[in-house]
Amino acid sequence: MHKKIGKILIVDDNEGLLKSLRYSLKIEFEQVDGIRSPNQLPTALREQFYDVVLLDMNFQAGKNTGNEGLFWLKEILAIDSDMAVIMITAYGDVELAVKAIRLGAIDFVLKPWNLEKLISTLYAGLKYRQSRLEVNQLKQKQKILGEDAAKPFLNILGQSPAMINLFQTIDKVAATDANVLIVGENGTGKELVAREIHRKSLRNKGIFIGVDLASLSESLFEGELFGHAKGAFTDAKEERAGRFESANGGTLFLDEIGNLTMSLQGKILTTLQNRTVNRLGSNQPVNLDIRLISATNKDLKQLVGDGVFREDLLYRINTIQITLPPLRDRLEDILLLAEHFLQLYSRKYNKPGIKLTASAADKLKKYSWPGNVRELQHAIERALILTDNQNLKDSDFLFESAKTELKLSDSLNLEEMERITVEKALSKSRGNLTLAAKELGITRKTLYSKIEKYGL
């Protein structure tokens, strides 16, 4: 038994005919309602969703002009311009029915009708209604996409010279299909920039797929990025497309690309050079059409010098390089961002009207923000959750740097002290590994191993 679909409204002053049609049609359609007076139409259409209206041409006894039917046809379409209206008419009124079609009806049926032909006509009306709704949904989606594209940088806030320069760079880069490398400290918004480039690009109707490479173990790497064929390994019970293949026609964002081992770098390079991908367990290459955006918080040129990153892969991924400024270099943006996060979390936690005091704003501006925008976001959220007041004071903000200094003075664990010392050197040097290594009195290679050891 097929699943019944479609909601039909019959408008006819003949009660016997209504009963007969409701009984015959409810076997085929999800819902069949009937009303005797067309005056009930406006209320019926506003209170209930219908796909098709089956409308009689004449209602007043002795009048067969069809004018009533034409009048109510116009009224129905004024309420819902996408409604599928089918007119009921007598054999001698075909010319009148044709006039109704010119006014917006989609078809007509003649009395007395063949039930099978009537059902077929109603199904045609149902398809018409569904197609009109789908077209409208597509138009709405395109409108939203168009409005979205017209709004500059929905997710990235900033008014500092550094950010204005970044916005200009994004506009230029987005217009191309070049591979992009985004470099910046943790918390500076590298993925937001990648998404903004995609949103403003010619691929914006395609998919954006992000992959955190740092979270993938070597054993999972190939299956996640390249996919696998059924039976490729023990748990491969069905075929699966990898991230490269899934991003076809759109943008693939590889975050933390500096964390890859040399062998995994080689596999990425081969895929990019060949513009094809082979699923694990399959020798059938799949053509790739992607825009690649990569990101890292590391100095890849220095890693190339240290022999831990492939030079040919670096050239492949950084046709254009974008360097994101840390928050400490865009002081003009701190309060702008703070207000944004304050409004965001005020809504989320239902605490309207909370504001920053002058002392709190001053404290936020003076802090160095080693964790950048992400740290500021968490600081605002934490302060708003914990406060019982309408104003956030400077005492509501306890920064990680203060906690770190306390730990350094209180802890006697050598490994913990080493981790904190390396962390402070990196913060002081603003992520410059050469300066941090010099500050610590160790080689860059030793520093790199300690960064890996402590996950810094």
Give the residue-averaged pLDDT of 108-115. 87
DSSP class of residue 93 equals: G
For residues 259-272, b (16+ Cβ closer than 10 Å) or e, as one string?
bbeeebbebbbebb
CATH topology of domain 333-363+372-393: Helicase, Ruva Protein; domain 3 (1.10.8)
pLDDT(162) > 70: yes
Q: How many residues does the chain have?
A: 456
Q: Domain locations in the chain?
A: 5-138, 161-323, 333-363+372-393, 401-454
Find, among 331, 224, 321, 318, the residue nearest to 279 by Cα: 224
Provide, rounded to the nearest whole percent, the portion of the chain with pLDDT above 90.
49
Residue 37 CB-half CA count within 13 A: 4
pLDDT(399) > 80: no
Give the residue-averaged pLDDT of 156-179. 93
- 78-101 pLDDT per residue, tens: 888 889 999 988 766 778 888 899
The distance in angstroms from the start CA to the end CA of the chain is 62
- pLDDT at residue 406, as a whole number: 36
Q: Which two tokens stand for residue 4?
A: 């019944």
- pLDDT at residue 153, as a whole number: 46
The mean-pLDDT minimum among 111-115, 147-151, 194-198, 247-251 falls in: 147-151
pLDDT(146) > 70: no
Cα–Cα distance, 90 to 83 (Å, whole number):
23
CB-based contacts of 262: which residues, under 8 Å, 6+ apart?
A: 308, 309, 310
Same fold, 161-323 and 401-454: no
Under 8 Å between Cβ of 238 and 228: no
Q: Which two tokens stand for residue 297?
A: 């918080």
| Residue 412: band (very low, low, confident or very high) from pLDDT cuts 50, 70, 90 | low
Mean pLDDT is highest, among 46-60, 128-142, 434-448, for 46-60
Give the residue-averaged pLDDT of 183-191. 93
Q: Which two tokens stand for residue 263?
A: 């062998």
The hierarchical CATH code for the domain 5-138 is 3.40.50.2300
The hierarchical CATH code for the domain 401-454 is 1.10.10.60
The mean-pLDDT minimum among 179-193, 321-335, 423-437 falls in: 423-437
Find, among 281, 288, 266, the residue nearest to 236 by Cα: 281
- 237-258 pLDDT per residue, tens: 667 788 898 888 999 999 999 9
Cα–Cα distance, 229 to 237 (Å, whole number):
9
The hierarchical CATH code for the domain 161-323 is 3.40.50.300
Give the residue-averaged pLDDT of 260-269. 92
To the nearest 10 degrees (0 to 180), the angle between helices 433-440 and 414-428 is 130
The DSSP bridge partners found for residue 240 are: 228
- pLDDT at residue 430, as a whole number: 64
Under 8 Å between Cβ of 252 and 211: yes
Is the preceding peptide bond at 152 cis, omega within 30 degrees of 0? no
- pLDDT at residue 128, as a whole number: 93
| Residue type at position 230 | K
Helix ranges (H only) for 299-456 are 300-305, 311-317, 334-348, 358-366, 372-386, 400-410, 414-428, 433-440, 444-454
pLDDT(192) > 90: yes
Provide, rounded to the nearest whole percent, the portion of the chain with pLDDT above 70.
87
- pLDDT at residue 61, as a whole number: 57
Give the residue-averaged pLDDT of 328-346. 93
| Residue 46: band (very low, low, confident or very high) from pLDDT cuts 50, 70, 90 | confident
To the nearest 10 degrees (0 to 180), the angle between helices 115-150 and 15-25 is 70
Q: What is the mean pLDDT of the chain?
A: 85
Residue 236: other Cβ atoms inside 10 A: 17
- 346-396 pLDDT per residue, tens: 998 899 889 999 999 999 999 999 999 999 999 999 999 988 888 999 989
| Residue type at position 418 | E
